[in-house]
Amino acid sequence: MFNNEIFRQAIKSVDFLQFHPVDESKPLQISYYSCLVDAEKVNQYLLPGIQENIDRLGQLSDIKGFIPFDEVTVIADTVEVVDKLMKGYVIIQFEGDDLHYLLVNVNHASMGHRKSNETENEFSVIGPKVGFVENIEVNIHLMRQQINTPALILEQITVGALSNTKVVLAYIDGVTNPRHIETMRQRLQAIDFDVVFDSSQLTQIIADHTKTPFPLLVTTERVDRVIFAILSGQVAVLSDGSPYAITAPSTLLDFFVSAEDYYLPWILASFFRVIRIMGVIFSIIASPLYVSILTYHFEVIPESLLQPLINSRIHVPFPPVMEVIFLEITIELLREAGARLPSKIGQTLGIVGGIVIGQASVQAAFTSNILLIIVALSALASFTTPIFNMANTIRLLRFPFILLAAFWGGLGLIVGLVVLLGHLMRLKSLGMPYLVPFFPFRTGHTADSFIRLSYKHTANRSQFLKPLSKKRYTPDKESIEND
């Protein structure tokens, strides 16, 4: 008799196949999930190899010589048998032998995965366009192509009680601080979750703080961004089934750094980075400042702007805070609708809807022309951040600031900024302060912060990461005159 107790739950599924490869008179049984294996490999190579040599089989290990597969092993651990069965292995067993099982790897890893791996949410004009896909083996291959050294260590951890999702921890041996590696390893191993669908779930589970709207770990779909983070002394986490990787520990400035910054001349890259940061600040305080000034601080309005403001609001029956909230919610509704609809329809809705609703709101005296411009610019500025998670946080922060400005004017804005700064100072990413190198202040770490200096000045790794190797490369010290 065959030991089918280990397949007790599997036989209830319609996609689980269990049969004799020749006939029932031959004491051999094959078991596998049809949805996980490559049917072509099974039908053209595995079954013919067994059927043609069935009379020459004395024990399970003899099958290795008859089938053209590299990964063929005989094991006795029934727990591992079930685990491999769920990974796309074929299980072969002899009748009456409950101690030995032959495992053949014929999984169809590429089934259901998209072929294109171009970046969609972190696009850059200059530089590579290669991004991660949902297949972790492909993602590891893309990383190995860029880092051709055995020092790139990949540790596999299984996460999810029901999904048994393969998660890979990546770092550079001899560069990354062991403390960061051990901290990330412990947090991943301590996860007790049923199913892990995406890396974004892991970032929420392993984050240092859960009661914050700020993302504490960078999630990116760009291969080059992950490679740069690893080479800088950070650790990366890849999850099977997710096209995004996690890099940690992260700082606040990491969310405003674009991969394109390193492909442009440093003067242009620094200019765009400053514009990006200033745009985010403008996005947070522009609408609250409008509410604060028109509600409490008329005296700060220059005389040249006073008349246009009066003409713009003369027919608006609502207080400034109501018209600001109305427009902000309208912008959010348009953004959500555009994101959920098919791409071409979403683009049309965003453009046409924004123009029509904006113009109609002004003509109906729901809002003023000046506020419409301010809110539109704030919405645009919030999307200048390269990481989408931070853009969502920036959009959310505007609403509490608007309410503070409506209640207490300029004082409310100052209180909000102080509370926000205090909150940021308390945050940590993988045990490292979120505002480093500015809090705690670290001298000599501003070469790649608000601005990016030339490559001659960015050879050192960020010392607040405490890397084992401080130099990333040695700048060329030869002068042009010696060429």
Q: What is the DSSP string of 5-58?
A: GGGTTGGGSTTEEEE-SS-TTS-EEEEEETTTB-HHHIIIIIHHHHHTTGGG-S
* Nearest partner of 30 among 41, 42, 43, 21, judged by Cα: 21
* Nearest partner of 283 among 442, 394, 148, 168, judged by Cα: 394
* Nearest partner of 413 among 224, 300, 242, 287, judged by Cα: 287
The pLDDT value given to residue 286: 94
| Token pair for 436 | 């480093």
Q: Is the separation of the CB atoms in 92 and 66 below 8 Å?
A: no
Distance in angstroms (rounded) separating the CA atoms of residues 414 and 205: 33
CB proximity list for 297: less than 8 A, separation 6 or greater = 409, 410
The pLDDT value given to residue 264: 92
Distance in angstroms (rounded) separating the CA atoms of residues 468 and 174: 6
- Distances from the Cα of 248 to the Cαs of 182, 315, 398, in angstroms? 12, 52, 27
In our burial notation (b when 16+ CB lie closer than 10 A, e otherwise), range 255-271 reads: bbbbbbbbebebeebbe
Distance in angstroms (rounded) separating the CA atoms of residues 172 and 472: 12
Distance in angstroms (rounded) separating the CA atoms of residues 7 and 84: 12
Distance in angstroms (rounded) separating the CA atoms of residues 345 and 169: 39
CA dihedral (358, 363, 364, 368) positive or negative? positive
The pLDDT value given to residue 322: 92
Q: Is the separation of the CB atoms in 437 and 446 below 8 Å?
A: yes
Residue 432's Cα: distance from chain center in Å? 20
Distance in angstroms (rounded) separating the CA atoms of residues 39 and 174: 43
Distance in angstroms (rounded) separating the CA atoms of residues 156 and 164: 12
Count of Cβ atoms closer than 10 Å to residue 402 Cβ: 24
Q: Is the separation of the CB atoms in 85 and 32 below 8 Å?
A: yes
Question: 320 has which bridge partners?
Answer: none
The pLDDT value given to residue 178: 95
> Is cis: bond before 249, omega within 30 of 0?
yes
pTM of the model: 0.82
For the stretch 431-438, contacts whose Cβ atoms lie closer than 8 Å and that sit 24 or more positions apart, written own/partner, are: 431/179, 431/183, 431/208, 431/249, 432/249, 432/251, 432/464, 432/465, 433/251, 434/214, 434/216, 434/250, 434/251, 434/252, 435/251, 435/252, 436/251, 436/464, 437/251, 437/462, 437/464
Q: Is the separation of the CB atoms in 165 and 453 below 8 Å?
A: no
CB proximity list for 102: less than 8 A, separation 6 or greater = 60, 61, 63, 72, 73, 74, 91, 92, 93
The pLDDT value given to residue 429: 94
Which amino acid appears at position 370 of this protein? I
Task: State the Rg of the chain over Cα.
Answer: 29
| Token pair for 282 | 């403008």
The pLDDT value given to residue 302: 87
* Nearest partner of 229 among 195, 184, 187, judged by Cα: 184
Which amino acid appears at position 57 of this protein? L
φ/ψ bin of 198: left (φ > 0), alpha (ψ from -120 to 50), beta (otherwise): beta
pLDDT in tens, the chain (483 residues): 566 678 887 888 888 888 888 776 667 888 999 888 888 888 888 888 888 887 777 777 788 888 888 888 888 888 888 888 888 899 988 876 767 888 999 887 666 666 677 777 788 888 888 889 888 888 888 888 888 888 899 999 999 888 888 999 999 999 999 999 999 999 999 998 888 889 999 999 999 998 999 999 999 999 999 999 999 999 999 999 899 999 999 999 999 999 889 999 999 999 999 999 999 999 999 999 999 999 998 888 888 888 888 888 888 888 999 989 988 998 888 888 777 777 666 666 666 676 677 777 777 778 888 888 898 899 888 888 888 889 899 999 999 999 999 999 999 999 999 999 999 999 999 999 999 988 888 776 778 888 888 888 888 888 888 899 888 888 765 555 565
| Token pair for 393 | 């946080």
